[in-house]
A and B are shown apart, each in its own frame.
Chain A
Amino acid sequence: MIHRSLSRETPIIAVRNFTAGYDGHVLLRDLSFDIYPGEVFVILGGSGSGKSTLLKHMIGLYRPVAGSILIEGRDIVTAQGQQRLEILARIGVMYQQGALFGSMTLLENVRLPLEEFTDLPDDAIDRVALMKLQLVGLGQAAYKLPDEISGGMRKRAAIARAMALDPPILFLDEPSAGLDPITSAELDQLIMSLSKHLKITFVVVTHELPSIETIADRVIMLDKRTQRIIAEGLPQELRDHSDNPWVRQFFNRQVEAAG
Chain B
Amino acid sequence: MRSLVTARGVLEGHPSPDGALVLSLTGALDASSTGQAWRNALHLIDVHQPRQLIVDASQLTYCDGAGAALLLELQRHQQSRRLTYEIQSLDPAYQALLELYGRWEAQRPEPLAPAESPIEQIGRATAAIWNDVVVLIAFVGQLSLALARAVRQPGLVRWRDAFVTAELAGVNAVPIISLLGFLLGLIMAFQSAIPMRQFGADIYVANLIGLSMLRELGPLLTAIILAGRSGSAFAAELGTMKVSEEIDALTTMGLEPVGFLVVPRVIAAVAMTPLLSVFAGLLGLIGGAVVMLSLGFPLVTYIIQVKSAVTVGDLLGGLGKSFVFGIVVAAIGCLRGLQTKSGAGAVGESTTRAVVSGLVLITIVDGIFAVIFYYLGI
Contacts and interface: CB of A to CB of B under 8 A. Distances in A.
Interface of A: 82, 85-86, 89, 101-103, 107, 114, 116-121, 124, 127-128, 130-135, 139-143, 146-147, 163-166, 197-198
Nearest to B73: A127
A118 B344 contact: no
B27 interface: no
A108 B215 CA distance: 53
Interface of B: 1-5, 30-32, 34-36, 38-39, 42, 64-66, 68-70, 72-73, 96-97, 100-101, 103-104, 107-112, 342-346
A247 B92 CA distance: 42
A130 B344 CA distance: 24
Contact of B35 (A82, A119, A141, A164): A119
3 tightest A-B contacts by CB? A119-B35, A102-B343, A166-B64
23 contacts: A89-B5, A89-B32, A103-B343, A117-B1, A117-B32, A118-B35, A119-B36, A120-B31, A120-B38, A121-B35, A124-B69, A124-B70, A128-B31, A131-B65, A139-B109, A140-B110, A141-B109, A143-B112, A146-B343, A165-B4, A166-B65, A197-B96, A197-B97
Given A118-B1, A131-B65, 6 more contacts: A89-B4, A114-B66, A118-B32, A128-B65, A140-B110, A142-B109
Nearest to B65: A166
A55 to B, nearest CB: 22
Given A85-B2, A143-B109, A135 B100 contact: yes
A105 to B, nearest CB: 8
Contact of A134 (B4, B36, B70, B104): B104
Contact of B31 (A139, A140, A165): A165
B35 to A, nearest CB: 3
A117 B30 contact: no
A131 B72 CA distance: 11
A143 B345 contact: no
B99 to A, nearest CB: 9
A147 B30 CA distance: 32
Contacts of B97: 197-198
A103 B103 CA distance: 30
A102 B344 contact: yes
Contacts of A121: 35, 38-39, 42
Nearest to A107: B109
Contacts of A198: 97, 100
- Listed residue (A114, A131, A139) with the most chain B CB atoms within 10 angstroms of its CB: A131
A232 B107 CA distance: 44
B4 A117 contact: yes
Contacts of A114: 31, 66
B73 A124 contact: yes
A130 B31 CA distance: 14
A143 B34 contact: no
A107 B110 CA distance: 12
Contacts of B31: 114, 117-118, 120, 128, 164-166
Contacts of A147: 342-343
B30 A85 contact: no
Contact of B5 (A86, A102, A127): A86
Contacts of B111: 143
Nearest to B36: A119
- Listed residue (A119, A120, A130) with the most chain B CB atoms within 10 angstroms of its CB: A120
Contact of B1 (A82, A119, A124, A133): A119
B216 to A, nearest CB: 41
A28 to B, nearest CB: 29
Contact of A139 (B2, B66, B107): B107
Contacts of A86: 4-5
A141 B109 CA distance: 7
A130 B109 contact: yes
A121 B73 CA distance: 12
Nearest to B68: A131
Contacts of B112: 143
Contacts of A166: 30-31, 64-66
Contacts of B38: 120-121, 124
A119 to B, nearest CB: 3
A143 B110 contact: yes
A124 B343 contact: no
Contacts of A82: 3
Contacts of A85: 2, 4
Contacts of A89: 4-5, 32
A103 B36 CA distance: 30
Contacts of A141: 109
Nearest to A113: B31
A147 B34 CA distance: 33
A224 to B, nearest CB: 26
Contacts of B96: 197
